A and B are shown apart, each in its own frame.
Chain A
Amino acid sequence: MFLKEIKQKINSTQRISQVTGALELISAVKMRKSQKIALGSRPFAQKVIEILKRLSEYQQECLQKNSFYFHKRELKKVLIVIVTSDKGFCSSFNKNILKFAEKEINETKESFKREKTTTPEIEIMAVGKKAIAFARKKKFQVKVEFSGIGDYGTLEETKPIADLLLRYFQEDQYQRICVFYTDFVSSFIQKPRKMQLLPLCSESFKDILRESAFAKDSTDKSASFAKAKKSSEVKLPEKFPDYVLEPSPGRIFESLVPQLLEFEIYHIILEANASEHSARMMAMRNACENANEIIKDLTLNYNKVRQNQITAEVSEISSAKEAMG
């Protein structure tokens, strides 16, 4: 009876290891592809942020007149975008970002309370099924939910998100929009990150440029990126004349800023995707290793029990024979 139980356990563990093994292989392929896309998009994203940063630093007068994207308005409502995966099985990937987001949300609330200003409302835009579930469980006010973005993410898929965010900001529904996402550092390390998307402000860009993975050389695979980094090391002079904006500043802000923001959202999703697949692959690899270890232990146990049984049987027979003889 006991033997049979162990045998069953071994079989079921074997089946689990088969599933996790398959998932590991699938994730490995997806990881490679999504990493390649994410790393490829980094030079563009970096330049986008650099340009937005310089714009926000150099054109202040002009900005006040021409663009509301840079205006800091009185905070009434804050929108928080949380980017997670649709599927589970990726160890602490979702847990980390959700924990980080929750902590930041609570801290923001506290700081508003301390300052005794009117507390702005905080609403959530959940991207990915895990974020949706989280926001519902924690009873946050959820404004919109997005899910079903593919494994690699395309501009067409992420454009609705960017459009929606821009519209909210334009219509003054929200006076600040923050994004929480996971930054892909390497296959082993993914960091949760906060970024203020709107209004555009140079401090937030500085933070991103300093902290984000794309400011550092994370993997060997980012060889093309390392080259880009070199060029960004060229230090700009402290102060240079304001940009000439052709054909007109208004037109630049109208067309350029939304375009750049659209790409930022796309890039964020790519980073999150690369992180998700890397996290899942590592999780599945660990699961496989654990399963194999358990199988090894169980097999040892199985053999021991079987041997015990045989010994017992033999001694029974021989003692019976002795008694008869």
Chain B
Amino acid sequence: MVLNIITQDRIIYQGKVSAVTLPGEKGELTVLPNHIPLITPLTGGKIKVQDANQKELFFEIESGVLEVNPVEMNVLVSV
């Protein structure tokens, strides 16, 4: 699954991932491959990305939107 983390002025992260944990409005949520299509707002917190090599990456966000479709995951972060 491809993950794009994009802010209003640049692409922060782009690549294949195996799991992503995000700060949702109702608590943390983890998205794995083949997740159903989803759109949900995000609150401030840390995004934990586990990439294809099982390496963990962290991104701090203030707020944003998560879109999951069958091919890719888009995280639009507002700064």
Contacts and interface: CB of A to CB of B under 8 A. Distances in A.
Given A244-B38, A245-B40, A256-B41, A231 B7 contact: no
B56 to A, nearest CB: 22
Contacts of B78: 259
B76 interface: yes
Contacts, number: 90
B30 interface: no
A35 to B, nearest CB: 13
Interface in A232-278: 234-237, 240-247, 251-252, 255-256, 259-260, 263, 266
Contacts of B71: 234-237
A196 interface: no
Chain B interface size range:
20 to 34
Contacts of B72: 231, 234
Nearest to B2: A231
Interface string A197-235: 000000000000000000000000000100110010011
A47 B7 CA distance: 11
Interface stretch (A38-46, A123-131, A182-190, A311-319): A38-46
17 contacts: A41-B9, A43-B4, A54-B69, A55-B39, A228-B6, A228-B11, A231-B2, A236-B69, A240-B37, A241-B36, A241-B37, A243-B37, A243-B38, A243-B67, A246-B26, A246-B38, A256-B41
Interface of A: 37, 40-41, 43-44, 47-48, 50-51, 54-55, 58, 155, 224, 227-228, 231, 234-237, 240-247, 251-252, 255-256, 259-260, 263, 266
